Amino acid sequence: MDRKHILDLVADMSLEEKAMQMTQLSPDLLYQLTPTNLTGPLRVWKFSDEALWKTGSVLGPLGAAFLKKLQKDYLAKSRQQIPLLFMTDVIHGYVTIMPIPLAQGCTFDPDLTEEAAAAVAREAAASGLHVTFSPMADLVRDPRWGRVMESSGEDPYLNGQIAAATIRGYQGKDPREKGRIASCVKHFAAYGQPEGGREYNTVDMSRGVLRDFYLPAYREAIEAGAAMVMSSFNTVERVPATCSRFLLRRVLREEWGFEGVVISDYSAVEELMNHSVACDDMEAGEKCVHAGLDIEMMSGVYAGTLQQLLDQGRITREEINECVTRILELKNRMGLFENPFKDADEEEEERLLYCPEHLELARRFARESMVLLKNQGVLPVSRGRIGLAGPFSDTGNILGGWHCEGKPDRTQTLLQALKAQWGEGLETAMTEHFIHGEADVPDRVEEAVERLRDCDICIAAVGEPEWDTGEATSRTNLRLTPNQEKLIHALHGAGKKVVAVLFSGRPLDIAPVLQDCDAVLQAWFPGSAGAAAAVDLLLGKYNPSGHLSMSFPRNTGQIPVYYNHYETGRPETEKENHYTSRYLDCANSPLFPFGYGLSYTTFTCGEMKVSEDLGKVSVRVRNTGERSGETVVQMYIRDVSASVVRPVMELKAFRRISLEPGEEAQVEFSVTKEMLSFYNEEEKWVWEPGAFDLMVGLDSEHVERERIFIPAGTGEQEAL
């Protein structure tokens, strides 16, 4: 369908039809008692039956058969034959669940991320879905906030690379292609920085911080072709993002040229009244229309107010038409006017969901995402008797929050994976999992120590319940529960070699047990094949290669702790100087820094070399161990002196490499003007001549450093 046809459709629509196109509802409001996959406080509005069946999009419907029926019933009532859009939260898998996005960031592997997202899209598309509310490009620094699991971490560049790869995987070159779905990037903007790490709380930051750290990943997502953007619940500069003209019009549309659809989060338009920026539905609707919010999710403000607002001259017909046109253009981009059922296919659904190919991909993805935090020579396990204890020993609840249609009861457990790969010589104890509503697992520590007394190595499968991560799961205490800590201490006290396998949706405070662990493998919530992936690593069938996408704190009081903080006038450089920016009772540095990750082999970086034209930096990386392995070489830049304060270092490039024992590779990075640029006080994107520190290393704390000077008058070409 061409644009003229779309404009003709818009011109032919009644105001009620337009308002309902701008409204997203759940199918249980169209069909009574229909099961849906919903979040947020469910409300019911008094729409007429006729108006309900003019709704433009549906939230949360699942299954090819049901979606085909819903679309067919809808079109039978549609005057203009404008098809429905079906949207839901497919965050890290539909039925085959991939590792949580925070773990995906630890792979530093956009290509694998794209491959996995394409598999997720195939499953979702076969089930009839058109749009996923993913990826979440929110930068995160505070693990008290439960939704850090949905982000790829604390770094703007890595976040943007992973978001863009995810979008390419979902949409391909054209989202109307078979097996593709449209991507809605969220939550625009800065949702990942709520005060105190408390869900739905105020976000308050300078515009410089917003532009330096929080906006870049969204922009990468837009440049990757994201079809939609979801506005965030929070305020930015005292204005809720839902109705922020600065964010939705100036930044998103005027500066970045975004032409797609903007949707609110769940009931966020109504919540403008709770924010005290709207006195009633009329004012809420008016502000959102002016901001260019195209669709309101799960509230009835547009449907109930647009006619009055138009009659009173508070909004224009042109503003409404712009919103509706964008919605219809998205439906056209998906090919729904030609084929309203798109890829919904029960046979294809049966073939793809949880298929062996997708499970194997999930296993490979999980292996790359796990991070070896500590190893005092006990891993990999090659002989002896293994003991297994802890609440994650024998549970399928390792999929993570937002696991859509994932099946914990079909998910292989760590115990099952060990039995399959290790066989005999395995003892278990204290394997009871968490119970909803219970703060801890039962205390069976003494019994566990006794049962595991003859074991050579004890694996403690510990962590946080998956239902304590995701939306509305903020925490003030990030330690393991008392009985889990007690288990680790007791096993160590009994003289056992302790290997902790951590299942979590965020960096936990593990300092209290770290000294009693001989090895620590951060498994995150690894998805449908995560248990097998963890055992692959524990037994040395594969070498750990994940690197942290988010720093681990030394304790909760140190939060937020992140690597790319701004310079301060009194940095902690002289330990004997009391009047520096430091704590009295804790180091400033994290327990484990961004980019950190161990291997069963060792790597060294040689001396950095910078090309004469300053446009290239290279380093030789050598595998100095006895195993083949992969690592992530990271390049950081620091602006030594600028017109505004700049971060102490910023990741600008990375490369994942594989080396055999004794093998050496030269890794080269380009240094571009884009990498040296920033937003100045006037919010202009500039680069300033002067001194820059180039740094290369295998994590953000251990780097080789070379200072370069770029004189004034250097040309404006992209490469130096």
pLDDT tens, position by position, 562-592: 999 999 999 987 667 889 999 999 999 999 9
Same domain, 291 and 339: yes
Rg (C-alpha) for the chain, rounded Å, is 26
DSSP assigned state of 557: G
Same domain, 342 and 413: no
Tell me the C-alpha distance between 500 and 513, whole Å.
9
Q: Is residue 297 part of a domain?
A: yes
Same domain, 437 and 338: no
pLDDT at position 33:
43
DSSP assigned state of 82: P
Q: Who contacts 409 (Cβ-Cβ below 8 Å, separation ≥6)? A: 396
Question: 657, 669 in Cβ contact below 8 A?
Answer: no
Same domain, 279 and 389: no
Tell me the C-alpha distance between 250 and 236, whole Å.
14
End position of a domain, from candidates 295, 316, 348: 348
CA distances (Å), origin 50, targets 245, 261, 271? 33, 25, 26
Same domain, 284 and 384: no
pLDDT at position 37:
52
Q: Strands, DSSP E only, in 402-456? A: 426-429
Same domain, 146 and 271: yes
Q: Is residue 466 part of a domain?
A: yes
DSSP assigned state of 384: S
pLDDT at position 556:
96
CB atoms within 10 A of CB 341: 15
Q: Is residue 353 part of a domain?
A: no
Q: Is residue 554 part of a domain?
A: no
pLDDT tens, position by position, 189-232: 999 999 999 999 999 999 999 999 999 999 999 999 999 999 99
Q: Is residue 355 part of a domain?
A: no
Residue numbers in the chain where pLDDT is lower than 70: 32-46, 574-575, 713-720
We report the CATH number of the domain holding residue 453 as 3.40.50.1700
Same domain, 437 and 536: yes
Q: Is residue 582 part of a domain?
A: no
We report the CATH number of the domain holding residue 682 as 2.60.40.10
Tell me the C-alpha distance between 473 and 449, whole Å.
33
End position of a domain, from candidates 478, 512, 545: 545
Note if 89 is an active site residue. Answer: no
Looking at the chain, the number of H-run helices and the number of E-run strands are 21, 26
Q: Is residue 503 part of a domain?
A: yes
Same domain, 298 and 393: no
Please give the tally of structural domains in the chain: 3
Same domain, 316 and 379: no
Provide the residue range defining the domain that includes 168: 3-348
We report the CATH number of the domain holding residue 43 as 3.20.20.300
pLDDT at position 45:
67
Residue among 463, 468, 25 nearest 269 (CA): 25
CB atoms within 10 A of CB 610: 15
Q: Which of 138, 212, 265, 536 is the catalytic position?
A: 265
Residue with tokens 């039925």: 95
Same domain, 449 and 334: no
End position of a domain, from candidates 545, 561, 587: 545
pLDDT at position 413:
98
Same domain, 201 and 272: yes
Q: Tokens for 32, please give them.
A: 């009574």
For 61-99, b/e burial (b = at least 16 CB within 10 A) is bbbbebbbebbeebbeebeeebbbbbbbbbbbbbbbbbb
Residue with tokens 């009081």: 557
Q: Is residue 621 part of a domain?
A: yes
Same domain, 622 and 687: yes
Burial of 427: CB neighbours in 10 Å, binned 0-12, 13-18, 19+: middle
